[in-house]
Structure 1
């Protein structure tokens, strides 16, 4: 310590000009130890600031940086920045709330629709249970023994008799193939009891208007290009009006929520090639596969309604529209395959028809003949077969025929109702679903064939009719 003090004194003596600015103190610290203090005044500051020193200065610098950052985030530091930020946040919150309310309303509407659909299904289940109990209480009909088929004419299709086969429920008493899993397999009263159809002989011709005797193997004309064509309808006008001819083929693909395109092909060859000559955009959406063409107009059911529309093909405008009285729609009384096939329009030698059902008919098929100009109902018949128990139907010469299954490759035409006599009966005419999902079957008067839409495929069937019996 003495050496350090000596060195300091030597420095002071050598730099006399600094003697008045350097000081050395010696004294005891609070613990009693000797302490030397060497002080050199600052050449710049007159006195020490009474603040916290460098730490406070650093804190001030960081605070300045933070203030600048906050100023940029709030819009340049002006007084309205926080207010604008709060307003923007409020607007965004309001928009999110509106979206949430809209989604909630959509969910409520969907829930309400599903609840209504469930109620309809429950009512139909109860009706089917009642029908099943009634059938169980009745004695079973005795079928006539099966006899070998009579020899058929050369080139004709032999008529085979009904053979029992198990369906997908394991019940061999029914040839039905219902699309509804809840439907009782026992309720196929018009599919179990059948009558024998005599084989054609030389006294019968193919151009009469008697009962249907046979249906040939299907001929495939075209397959749809995409999923929109899984179901559809294709048709031909037996009384075409200029500028179109009776060779014109019309087609509608019915998959989608906005079905409005009507494709026109000059003839069957152009259809098979996939080259439409006309594409029309209909003013109203089409419901399902029940459309038809007649006397220069397209007749179809408006989506989600019982409204029928007559669309004039020449003027490309709606010529008439009318509600079909009391008709079920959008899944109330469809065919067994579903597809909202509540109203099925058809054309035969006698004119325009509608096949549907009502609550008053309790799901039984109702046939109405329509005025092709005004769409008014001219006359109606109520059958004794449930619409949901058959896969499809068509009308030939004023007679309604129903098909038992839409998926079974080998099924039957199982029922016929004659509007002339107002009588119905069970029949057994073999029918083939080649592609195993038949969503449309209609009689084509122009060619005397059946047109069908079978799982993307447009197919046709030749038919044989018996001679009309004299009254």
Structure 2
């Protein structure tokens, strides 16, 4: 029994009961339905018309397209036979031109049949869409009688089921990375990125889309819960101070910031150049203004010291991170932290634009330690980060997805290009990304938003 029949039968039973009760008490009442009667006949006519129309369309579609396919098959067989005959001929070229002209005409007929088949198929598809649209319009008009919103609820359930199925497919579509050479990482190797765990606009709003933020992996006493923030306040390239907050909630609320000036203005000596900045041991590491060097700013003494990069290292937007649609300006130097300290990723023309990774030795005056060359071209990546001496690179997949696709083990020198660890972006671009070994989080600055993700090992 259909739902509609059940509803009508229920109304009839209620009416009979009311009449019987009225007779038993020697009184009468009139049942008045304030609502318009449901157009059952109209629904049945729509269903009947849709079935008949669908049958006619399918029948015509199969008949027309079958005839065209049969004709096309015969013409192709004839063309194949004529080509074979031409290949067997040996008339010294006497009739070759005539035969080729005949084949040309036959080929033209074949192309005409193909075009006609395509037009017929498109016509039937268009007709099917029009019929479907008409039926949907009629059903929408009938939905006003659905006071219990059954039809609307069923459609919403279908949508939710599709969303759940799509979500499950996305989860299954991210395989774990292949096994790599064992490292000294106690937590293992990254297999998944979850989040975001933190998602907030900074105190500056959307004014500055480039910048970086995070926590000091090796803070001084009393600053264990502090966070730092550096928006590039000049042309998305330069900054001259670091802003600190005593807690994450203070950063989210934008209250009680502590600003520490690094330079007198932008751009000038000691100005921060580029968004890929990190803090380690109460010191800020960044790319020096207009200089192929590592700058180290001591937040206690306010002193700036430098270490020169190898000769001809790229700066001033010569070798930025990129994807197919755009590049992230002035990302020539990318500073990263891991369990051992600070590293810098960069490149040079001598290395053909491929990433070079150098360890920044600790000390009041920075020096470059171990330096390794990779085969990763810098413009094919959008960011890098370091975990237990392994360099990872990300790339832009689309506006909603970023992928960790590459790794380089600084201990063994082994590289891999097939990690395929994808995670959802909250905004289109990620201007800076860094791993913090103290809480195993990725700190992301994305189009003026401060975001964190958890790395699952």
TM-score, length-scaled by structure 2: 0.55
- Taking the aligned partners of 2:292 and 2:358, their CA distance within structure 1 comes to 14
Alignment partner, residue 240 of structure 1: 219
- CA shift, 1:406, in A, is 7.3
Alignment partner, residue 307 of structure 2: 322
- Taking the aligned partners of 1:452 and 1:406, their CA distance within structure 2 comes to 17
- Taking the aligned partners of 2:199 and 2:245, their CA distance within structure 1 comes to 13
Alignment partner, residue 280 of structure 1: 260
The SS at the match of 1:272 is: helix
Aligned pair count reads 269
Alignment partner, residue 363 of structure 1: 353
Q: Are residue 441 (structure 1) and residue 427 (structure 2) matched? A: no
5+ residue gaps, structure 1? 1-156, 163-194, 466-471
- Taking the aligned partners of 1:436 and 1:217, their CA distance within structure 2 comes to 16
- Taking the aligned partners of 1:222 and 1:196, their CA distance within structure 2 comes to 29
Which of 283, 286, 306 is equivalent to 1:300? 286
Alignment partner, residue 267 of structure 1: 247
- CA shift, 1:226, in A, is 4.0
- Taking the aligned partners of 1:377 and 1:384, their CA distance within structure 2 comes to 20
Q: Are residue 343 (structure 1) and residue 343 (structure 2) matched? A: no
Q: Are residue 384 (structure 1) and residue 370 (structure 2) matched? A: no
Q: Are residue 211 (structure 1) and residue 223 (structure 2) matched? A: no
- Taking the aligned partners of 2:170 and 2:456, their CA distance within structure 1 comes to 11
* Aligned residues of 1:364 and 1:383 also touching (Cα < 8 A): yes
Larger Cα Rg: Structure 1 or Structure 2? 1
Counterparts of residues 90-129 of structure 1 (less than 5 Å): none
Which of 269, 275, 290 is equivalent to 1:289? 275
- CA shift, 1:196, in A, is 5.5
Counterparts of residues 48-59 of structure 1 (less than 5 Å): none
Alignment partner, residue 137 of structure 1: none
- Structure 1 159/457 Cα, relative in aligned 2: closer, same or farther at 3 Å? same
* Aligned residues of 2:210 and 2:448 also touching (Cα < 8 A): yes
- Structure 1 227/314 Cα, relative in aligned 2: closer, same or farther at 3 Å? same
- Taking the aligned partners of 2:331 and 2:227, their CA distance within structure 1 comes to 22
Q: Are residue 161 (structure 1) and residue 173 (structure 2) matched? A: yes
- CA shift, 1:158, in A, is 8.7
- Taking the aligned partners of 1:290 and 1:372, their CA distance within structure 2 comes to 19
Alignment partner, residue 372 of structure 1: 362
- Taking the aligned partners of 2:329 and 2:198, their CA distance within structure 1 comes to 22
Which of 298, 313, 320 is equivalent to 1:312? 298
- Taking the aligned partners of 1:394 and 1:424, their CA distance within structure 2 comes to 15
- Structure 1 158/248 Cα, relative in aligned 2: closer, same or farther at 3 Å? farther
The SS at the match of 2:273 is: coil
Alignment partner, residue 128 of structure 2: none
Alignment partner, residue 459 of structure 1: 451
- Taking the aligned partners of 1:455 and 1:407, their CA distance within structure 2 comes to 15
- Structure 1 323/407 Cα, relative in aligned 2: closer, same or farther at 3 Å? farther
- Taking the aligned partners of 1:442 and 1:308, their CA distance within structure 2 comes to 17
- CA shift, 1:455, in A, is 1.2
Q: Deviations over 1:388-422 (max 9, x none)?
A: 11111111111111111175312321111111110
Q: Deviations over 1:153-194 (max 9, x none)?
A: xxxx995435xxxxxxxxxxxxxxxxxxxxxxxxxxxxxxxx
- CA shift, 1:215, in A, is 0.2
5+ residue gaps, structure 2? 1-168, 264-269
CA RMSD of aligned residues (A): 2.4
- Taking the aligned partners of 1:273 and 1:234, their CA distance within structure 2 comes to 15
Q: Which runs of 4+ in 1 moved over 4 A?
A: none
- Structure 1 411/211 Cα, relative in aligned 2: closer, same or farther at 3 Å? same
- CA shift, 1:228, in A, is 4.2
- Taking the aligned partners of 2:171 and 2:373, their CA distance within structure 1 comes to 30
- Taking the aligned partners of 1:428 and 1:289, their CA distance within structure 2 comes to 25
- Taking the aligned partners of 1:299 and 1:363, their CA distance within structure 2 comes to 23
Which of 397, 406, 410 is equivalent to 1:415? 406
- Taking the aligned partners of 2:209 and 2:371, their CA distance within structure 1 comes to 32
* Aligned residues of 1:412 and 1:430 also touching (Cα < 8 A): yes
The SS at the match of 1:217 is: strand
Alignment partner, residue 110 of structure 2: none
